[in-house]
Chains A and B, each alone.
Chain A
Amino acid sequence: MTMRIDPADPAPPGLFKRLDPAVLTAFGCIVALLLVGSLYSTSFLSPGYLLQQLQVGAFLAMAATGMMIVILLGQIDLSVPWLVTVGGMMSTAAAGYGPWGAAFAIPAGVLCGVVFGLVNGVGVAYLRIPSMIFTLGINAVAQGLMILRTGGSAPQDMATPAMHGLATGHALAGIPNAVWIWIVVGAVTVFVLRRTTFGRSVYGIGNREAAAYLSGINTRRIVLLAFALSGGLSAFAGVLLAGYSDKAYQGMGDPYLLPAIAAVVLGGTSILGGRGSYLGTTAGVILITLLQSILSVMQIAEAGRQIIYGVVIVAMLLLYGRGPRVGS
């Protein structure tokens, strides 16, 4: 009758080498969704539809990538909604400053996100405030700043042609640019997580922060960087979204927080940190995007979509997202 919280419960061998059952399940669900969809309409299997889903999914993928890095640390970033909006609004704002402004619109938007992310990082890593509450505060501050900017006047909020092209164009091989961006960001993320000291440290901190610290890793700097990355990626999602809809608007980031967390967790990343692969997050993003799309194509009302969405996530969590047993 002892309390047992067993940290030794090992992951399947070869953390990166072999597929996690969670990732397999996620991909299985994707296939199942497509099959269900194809019963409804054959167009669900057409390349055009699939590419369009990937294009829409790319925006979520940016936010989910940042969220994944933060979750791997065992933290969470709840400032995604308004950092997405910051990205959209600040990039379109920069576009108002003549040709130079337009040229630097995209980096300007991303940079603003990075700055907010750095503040998140300082709060979590140096002040050691729980990330859940601190990022919430930053979300509120970002919201306040954006409302301050847009409320009184009607500022420049149109996307630049470059943003529009990035989000909607098909520059190469008929594949949407947004999908190319996803591929590039994904490849870089996989490289960073698997082949750099930063990535290795992220997994280490997520598993055992004390052990990482005693190994001489500058844990605070890693956490700071991770939040900066997450902020930048959220803002980049906002830049793309603004390009896609041609303008930035308040609340544009609201539908991104919960799907980003859900995509990461459904992809097999442990919410407690230290475990998970980018492939899983990719699968999670596709799964959520498809789920949302199919539910809306089937003309299920928003209410039904929300319910099904929630039930699916709970069911998948119960399948493989459970924590260790406490007590006996």
Chain B
Amino acid sequence: MEPIKAGLAASTEPLLRLRGITKRYGGVRALEEVDLAVRAGRIHAILGENGAGKSSLIKCIAGVVQPDAGTMSLDGAAVRFPSPAAANAAGVVCIFQELSLIPDLSVADNIMISNPPRRFGMIDGRAQRRMAEAALARAGAGNIHPLELVKNLPLSRRQLVEIAKALARNPRLLILDEATSALTAADVETVFRVLKALRAQGLALLYISHRMDEIAELADDCSVFRNGRHVATFPAGTKSDGEVIAMMIGREYSHVFPPKPAPVPTGPTPTLAVRDLSWGETLAGISFEVRAGEIVGLGGLDGQGQRELLLALFGVLRGVTGQVVIEGRPVSIGGPGDAKAPANGMALIPEDRKTEGLMLPMSVGENLCFASLERLSRGGVLDKAAERRAVGEMVKLLAVKTASPDTPVGALSGGNQQKVVVAKWLMNSPRIILLNDPTRGIDVGTKQEMYRLLRKLADEGAAILLYSTDYAELIGCCDRVLVLYGGAVRRELAGEALTESALVASALNVEAVAGEAGLTSAATP
């Protein structure tokens, strides 16, 4: 192992300094005039809600994207990173949330992939193995065999390999984006020990996490981001959880939500009742009910089983246990075809409209009809007149901005594409509507239209289950919110109790952490 340039700890000049960094994607401002200083020998935590600009920040630092304005300096010298490779060369290494490992190669091959040791032009297997072992040891993963294929490792172990791969590049600044999200409790402890050791060696660490307890244990400095702006930086431990959460939320809502009706009277049969639904280690005994006219939200941190819950209800997952009751009838749904059948009347607005919702090169009209081909045809032959009529109605109802129904849907704006996905399912007149983060990445105007539409559908008798990563949306739109943590419903918030701080607190499982230390393991599937 090569020695790390030590001795920078506690120096006054920060290792990395950002000034006025601004980044826009189209019209959306992801980062606005951000100033930040990261010092060697310290762990610097970045906090913020979903969409606060944390990922844009690290992408700018790691050279994945270029900022539109502002300057970056490393050790006092101005730097620009046109590519991740350039950042690596300067000692800035980032571990992204999505893994970047090659499943069919061995652990050692992966760790040394960008610059393997060579002898006579060939990869020197022994030297590579030594270096990989050293990197694994530094990452606290000495028990991972360097010859093991990555595809045979469980997710949590792969995350450790990812850390080892980053360490093999001898970073001076190491950025970890949700690095513990896939780890088991034991591995989290290991990673923490490793990170503390790296800090002692003089590395600067930028640590992004949603978990308050982790930050309390690890961080030296904390910076809070909100809506693309840097709100504050303070030494860890100087603010209470409540104060931090208040900083993360801020008090500026741009959303306009339709008024909520009086609570739905508890009728005899809910439209959708779910009892003790489980799937592998991802969903653990989920039970709830949704009544006609009700919008029920799914909250919590990203990746706590919300998506899987929707997919399970829609019949996409195999090996789901538990009971699903629709309008009093226990049902067994074998797939989307079953789910959308008139007897069940379900619809799912999927997570990624580009890969799961739409056929981008096909026309708006064709896309709209995909979920209701049975209704629009007789004996397998499409009724063109009925199709045209139905398409016209939907385009009008949702005010889809398209030159004609024959325009390829890929040519529409993101918001209009999303409207097509929703309209496609409304065409089938569903009674149960499952939505998977339907407003992600769309403009505010379309969002508001979407909120009004959801309320209208509920008023017309639909039962709606809405997963959103936007807390404000859950509060503004939903009658009740189920907060998921570790694949189980941890809390149900409704009425007065449905506030952003309650939502954030239960999503972070803060109370639980305060009460029983070490519950983080519950969050790890």
Contact = CB atoms under 8 A, between A and B. Distances in A.
A8 B366 contact: no
Given A14-B406, A197-B374, A216-B341, 8 more contacts: A11-B408, A13-B406, A200-B369, A203-B362, A210-B356, A211-B355, A212-B370, A216-B336
B48 interface: no
Nearest to B338: A216
B354 interface: yes
B99 interface: no
A49 interface: no
A201 B367 CA distance: 11
A204 B340 contact: no
B82 A13 contact: no
A218 interface: yes
B84 A208 contact: no
Interface string A206-227: 0110111111111000000000
Interface string A15-34: 10100000000000000000
B362 A217 contact: no
Nearest to B360: A8
Contacts of A207: 359-362
A194 to B, nearest CB: 8
B437 to A, nearest CB: 15
B373 A201 contact: yes
30 contacts: A1-B63, A1-B64, A2-B65, A7-B354, A8-B360, A13-B406, A13-B411, A14-B363, A15-B363, A17-B406, A195-B382, A196-B382, A197-B377, A198-B380, A203-B359, A204-B362, A204-B366, A207-B361, A208-B355, A208-B356, A208-B358, A208-B360, A210-B355, A211-B355, A213-B336, A214-B314, A214-B356, A215-B336, A216-B336, A216-B371
A275 interface: yes
B361 A274 contact: yes
A197 B382 contact: yes
A208 B357 CA distance: 9
Interface in B332-389: 335-337, 339-341, 348, 350, 354-363, 366, 369-371, 373-374, 377, 380-382, 384
Interface of A: 1-2, 7-11, 13-15, 17, 195-198, 200-201, 203-204, 207-208, 210-218, 274-275
A217 B374 CA distance: 10
B424 interface: yes
A195 B384 contact: yes
B74 interface: no
Given A204-B362, A218-B337, A7 B373 contact: no
B407 interface: yes
B115 interface: no
A11 B410 CA distance: 9
A274 B64 CA distance: 32
Given A7-B354, A10-B408, A210-B356, A217 B373 contact: yes
B359 A211 contact: yes
A214 B388 CA distance: 23
B86 to A, nearest CB: 9
Interface centre among A2, A14, A197, A212 (most CB of B within 10 A): A197
A200 B366 contact: yes
B83 interface: yes
B361 A217 contact: no
A214 B406 contact: no
B361 A197 contact: no
B356 A211 contact: yes
A7 B381 CA distance: 29
Given A200-B366, A201-B373, A214 B411 contact: no
A183 to B, nearest CB: 20
A233 B118 CA distance: 56
Given A13-B411, A197-B382, A1 B362 contact: no
B316 interface: yes
Interface residues of B, number: 45
Contact of B380 (A17, A196, A210): A196
A214 B360 CA distance: 15
A196 B377 CA distance: 8
A122 B411 CA distance: 36
A215 B356 CA distance: 9
A28 to B, nearest CB: 24
Contact of A1 (B83, B316, B339, B381): B83
Contacts of B339: 216
A226 B339 CA distance: 25
Nearest to B421: A211
Contacts of B410: 7-10
A11 B337 CA distance: 28
Contacts of B408: 10-11, 13, 15
Nearest to B417: A8
Interface string B205-239: 00000000000000000000000000000000000
A214 B382 contact: no
Interface string B390-418: 00000000000001001110110000000
A208 B354 CA distance: 9
A150 B405 CA distance: 56
Given A13-B408, A17-B406, A7 B370 contact: no
A217 B370 contact: yes
A1 B377 CA distance: 47
A200 B373 CA distance: 9
A216 B333 CA distance: 12
B382 A274 contact: no
Contacts of A217: 336-337, 370, 373
Nearest to B85: A1
Contacts of B380: 196-198
A15 B362 contact: yes
Contacts of B361: 9-11, 15, 207, 274-275
A127 B487 CA distance: 31
A214 B358 contact: no
B359 A204 contact: yes
A80 to B, nearest CB: 26
Nearest to A205: B359
A100 B28 CA distance: 74
A327 B339 CA distance: 39
